A and B are shown apart, each in its own frame.
Chain A
Amino acid sequence: MESKLRELLSDAELLGFYEQMVLSREFEESCAEQYTKGHITGFLHLYSGQEAVAVGTTAGLQKEDYILSAYRDHAQAIVRGADPNRVMAELFGKATGICKGKGGSMHLFDPKLNFMGGYAIVAGQFPIAVGLAFAAKLKQEERIVTCFFGDGSMNQGNFHEALNWSRVWDLPVLYICENNFYGIGTVVQRASALPALHRRTCGYDIPSEKVDGMDVIAVYEAVKRAAAWIRERQRPYFIEAVTYRFRGHSMADPATYRSSAEQEIWRSRDPIPNFAKRLIDEGITDQAALDEIDARCTARVEEAVRFAEESPWPEDSAVWEDIYV
């Protein structure tokens, strides 16, 4: 059978997409378990269901490009290359965490990977992305700044200020809206005057498109195209990835505002089994090989949990560290 996928990517890359999505899912589901056990505290926002967006986007970028995210940031950090052990340890609050166990779930940060942070304040990351892009422009370094955000954040002033500035100054910002339809429990139609979110950029003359955020290949192709466009023109671009979170807003949210029928429909669009089926249908792999990947990801996450459990707590004196220069 003719494989459309093989025209785009090598088998290794395709299986890599699958593995990253599975790793992200396993990681998040394991986080839920660790939260229930009381090993992870505070607020925990899980990414299950949205994996295709992080994987497809990250694959479409270069290593020197910057990435910023919101508070649902574990998968984005891991897909970018953050060590799952250290991310899990961060969620546990251990000294070996990626931010020394002091930042927690919502504030992952790994400058070595140009992963410039998860931001707990909704829309807080927008102006920072603009600033990074401006700095890249002034220093004449060719980088795209990619800014992940949710549908809810588009109603904050920061969003509008950032979009305007990035177009006034023509900055290389790639906006990735992860539209999962809910800002906590408020559905997008009750919060946005124009629920077709990608159309909201026209006021800033920023081109935009909508993509199926449950399809990793669709996201990858859109981002790769957009990234090339931005690199050529040095101008901002906007992608709305339509997706769905399978869990509540956070572990504290029972998510009673969504009907089970609605959730069923989206579960049937789960990006992982659908991509697995496509890989098999196009003859790229077989179920046994995918099972092996699944098992590897499970083991990887188990190792991360073990690492986090066995890691030491920060010393009390760490409270005083990294405060003032």
Chain B
Amino acid sequence: MPHLNMVQAINQALAQEMERDDRVVLLGEDIGKDGGVFRVTEGLWERFGAERVIDTPLSESGIVGTAIGMAAYGLRPVPEIQFLGFAYAALDQIFTHAARIRNRSRGRYSCPMVIRTPYGGGIKAPELHEESSEALFCHMPGIKVVVPSGPYHAKGLLLQALRDPDPVLFLEPTRLYRMIREEVPEGEYTIPLGKARVVREGKQVTVVSWGSMLERVLKAVGPEAEVIDLMTLSPFDAETVLASVRKTGRAVVVQEAPKTGGFGAEIVATIAEEAILYLRGPVLRVAAPDVTMPLPKLIDAYLPTMDHISNAVQEVLRY
């Protein structure tokens, strides 16, 4: 089985779905002729033509808005936003239209599109090019939020997202793009949305994470920890998390986003609502501080490290 990195796995998923379904069109800044700033769409313009791999002007709001129109008409657009920080210019279209088309049309229209965007820290660029603002999108009903943690899952989740009837924000952890290689089957396979996975079983503490933090979690924790990769943040798989917490009685949530209002808070609140009587101690969050993403030396002081993660695990194991 070929060993691919995440860029190659995503590229393969896009190509296979475009081959299978001619309603799939890609649009974004420099994704076509230039192959994308991270080379994720390399070769697709040559293979599928300029009408299915569309170079757009610089206008994120326009990219998403146009994709909504395409989706309502029956296409399956895949807008790319160059960095998640640039999606703020498109929030109007994402929040006020994409997320509401199904509800607003009382089920008559949907908005089947996948907004792909690199996100997250660790590439030594400041603020808007590194932020993890996934919680904003999880708060908005009507849009699914998916975060792969490696090449294998990136391909399977993306193929599933591309077949989903509703808008999906597909967040690609930039730090992992070329960092991890995994065996990725050449053929099609899908991984369901809304399902978490237990990456490693353990008995004493549940560690919940997603995206680029998972790789650090797996290095930082020992066999006592049961590690869960959420994969889909919205809607998130509470059952898998709660089943694990009921077994271990302890939980740590690891996110690279700032702590306040982060998605980790939602998981902790769910545990408090549904499983508090199973807990032996406090549920801890490992998160970035509530500050703007700095450059570049301070990134190490900002992003959660393996030490932060293992300290939190040791702390809850005291109970």
Chain A positions near chain B (C-beta within 8 angstroms): 41-43, 93, 101-104, 106-107, 120-123, 152-153, 155-158, 183-186, 190-192, 252-253, 257, 313-314, 316, 318-320, 323
Contact = CB atoms under 8 A, between A and B. Distances in A.
List the 5 closest pairs (A to B, CB-CB), nearest first: A42-B125, A185-B34, A41-B124, A155-B57, A316-B301
B81 to A, nearest CB: 12
Contacts of B297: 93, 101, 313-314
Nearest to B289: A319
Contacts of A157: 59, 61-62, 89
Contact of B30 (A103, A104, A155, A184): A184
B54 to A, nearest CB: 11
Nearest to B55: A186
B271 interface: no
B126 A191 contact: no
Given A42-B126, A121-B88, A155-B58, A102 B34 contact: no
28 contacts: A41-B125, A42-B129, A42-B295, A93-B297, A93-B298, A102-B298, A104-B296, A120-B128, A123-B58, A123-B89, A153-B58, A155-B57, A157-B62, A183-B58, A184-B30, A185-B30, A185-B33, A186-B29, A190-B55, A191-B55, A313-B297, A316-B298, A319-B291, A319-B301, A319-B302, A320-B291, A323-B290, A323-B292
A121 B58 contact: no
Contacts of B29: 183-184, 186
A214 B62 CA distance: 32
B140 interface: no
Interface centre among A102, A106, A318, by most chain B C-beta atoms within 10 angstroms, is A102
Contacts of B127: 103, 107, 120
Interface residues of B, number: 35
Interface of B: 29-30, 33-34, 37, 55-62, 85-86, 88-89, 123-129, 289-292, 294-298, 301-302
A231 to B, nearest CB: 32
Contacts of A41: 124-125, 295-296
Contacts of A190: 55
A192 B290 CA distance: 39
Instruction: Name B's interface SS.
Output: loop
B126 A102 contact: yes
A122 B58 contact: yes
Contact of B34 (A106, A158, A192, A257): A257
B124 A156 contact: no
Contact of A186 (B30, B124, B292): B30
Contact of A101 (B123, B289, B295): B295
B298 A318 contact: yes
Contacts of A192: 57
Contacts of B34: 184-186, 257
A152 B34 CA distance: 15
A42 B124 contact: yes
Contacts of B123: 42
Contacts of A122: 58, 86
B89 A121 contact: yes
Contacts of B33: 185-186, 257
A319 to B, nearest CB: 5
A101 B296 CA distance: 8
Nearest to B86: A121
B7 to A, nearest CB: 14
Contacts of B62: 155, 157
